[in-house]
Each structure stands twice: as C-alpha cells, then as structure tokens.
Structure 1
C-alpha cells in the first residue's frame, strides 16, 4: 500500500505542469487592438444607451422586459409609475444596480432621464409633471443606502395600488 502511494506521488510530480498558469506571464503582450489601457466606464464617454446595455441590460434585458425567472422586474412601460408615489423617485436612484453602478452621478442622471422618456423605456408610465434628474440630486440620493429592497419596493407597489395604478411589472406582487 505504501509503495502504491509513493508511486502515485511520483507520477503526479513527473506529470507535465498544468497548461494554465496560476500567475500570469508578465511578458505576455496585449491582444491585437487592445494595446491601450482600459478606461473606467465613468471616464469612457459611452452614450447613454450603451451605458444601459453595460449596466442594466444584463438583468432587465435590452428592451427592459425583465425576467420573472431571475426575479428582475419589467421596466418597459412601467418604471415611470415609481415617480407617482412618495419615495419612488429616490428608490430608482437607490436600487443597487443603479446606486452601485460604475457610472458617475452625471451619467446616472442621464441614464434615469433616458429611461423616463415617453418614447423610451418608461413610455406612458411617466407622470406628465416629470422633472428630470440632476447630477446633484443623484449625488445626494445615492449616498443613502437602500437597506431593504424587497420591503421598500413592496411598500411602493402598495402605494401605487392605492392610487389605482395597474401593476404590470412582470412579477408576482402579492403585497
């Protein structure tokens, strides 16, 4: 038995090293076309629709339909309803995907305003008296963490129902 164990160890030590290295090769060159150092998203100067694709579409999908299977609500034609209830405006900034995104405050304000366009994601759910988000407003709101997303969202959905707003966000809203 001892001989078998020693033979196994010797075979392991004699085997060629693994193909993948644990430590990157410092002499490895960049892939062609990727020689320049990458910029942070907040400094890259991407358009607002590109920022949506990079920061939001992974969960809410490219057209804002969300995914009930992934517990991600639909924004398309619905997200503007949050602006109709107390605390909803702040909620949209504090949602972790927004407040913790790689976007700076001006880009986040632009993204929220882009989402709230009547010809865009929010559609007719946007209130007629909508006031665009500003960089300063986003900076102020973003500093306050959202401690309980499900409970906060449930309260806002209840407030929408009390106002007679139809809840069409693709989720099971039993509250």
Structure 2
C-alpha cells in the first residue's frame, strides 16, 4: 500500500505542476501518469498481470517493423489521450531508458500516426505471433503469459 500511495502522490504532483505551468507534460511525466500503472516506474511490468518487462526486450521489439506496429496497439497506447507526438516522445523515453544499448531508431509523430492506423484485431494474438516470429529469428524477448 505505501508504494501505491507514493506513486499516486508523485503522479498528482506531476499533474498539478503541469497544470500550474500551463505546459505539455514531459515524456517522463506522461510515462509515470499513463504507463507506470501497468509497466511500473521501473519498467519491470508484472508477469502475474500479463504485462511484459521493458529491460532486455522493448528495444528488440522496436527493431522489428511488426514490433513497432505492435507497440502502437498495446492497450495503454490505444486507450490514452496523448497526441501522436506525445506517444512518440514517450516511446523514445522508454527506449532511451530501457533499451539505449539496443539502438532502436526513435519514433516520430508521423510514424506513430501511420502505425496506429494499421488494423490489429487481437493484440494478444499479435503479440504471440510477434514472439514466435522473433524466436524464429533467434531473438528472445520478455515472456508473454497470455495463451
């Protein structure tokens, strides 16, 4: 419970600070507010919750064309209120924070716009197929617990 309270307090502080200054939130602030609820502030996700970890995985996914499209359709991206430019900034924050050594190219707002228009009927099936495709190429990514 104390950890949740601390995260909630930090998130509230970010929202209030942003509103007070009348500016867009930083990529870090957007990550904390809109992504850390599932992926945690540490990027570790939750195997029990079915949320993959970022370290050692997200950069590999971002190296794949299919993976980059997949990233634009995960529930937290599909359901948030950020602009495509803000999504690109958060994705780049994630890559810089947890995958800088993997050298994935940065996202642009234009790429985010294009990839979000792709139709992915079932994100669980897409992740499973992406995982198999990457394994066939000898690339291991974080486990995905959904069948």
2: CA distance, partners of 1:92 / 1:114: 14
Give the corresponding residue for 2:48: 69
Give the corresponding residue for 2:64: 85
> Which residues of structure 1 form unaligned runs of 5+?
1-35
Per-residue CA deviation, residues 9-54 of structure 1 (Å, 9 max, x unaligned), is: xxxxxxxxxxxxxxxxxxxxxxxxxxx9x97xxx851111110011
2: CA distance, partners of 1:123 / 1:67: 22
- Report the count of equivalent residues: 129
Please state which structure has a larger fraction of its residues in helix. 2
> Which residues of structure 2 form unaligned runs of 5+?
1-15
Pick aligned residue for 1:121 from 86, 91, 98: 98
2:27–2:89 CA contact under 8 A, matched in 1 = yes
1:148 aligns with 2:127: no
Give 3-state SS (helix, strand or coil) of 1:144's partner. coil
Q: Which structure: larger Rg?
A: 1
**TM-score, structure 2 as length reference:** 0.76
Aligned Cα RMSD in Å?
2.4
2:69–2:115 CA contact under 8 A, matched in 1 = yes
1:83–1:89 CA contact under 8 A, matched in 2 = yes
Structure 1 segments, 4+ long, off by >2 Å, are 83-86, 143-146, 170-174
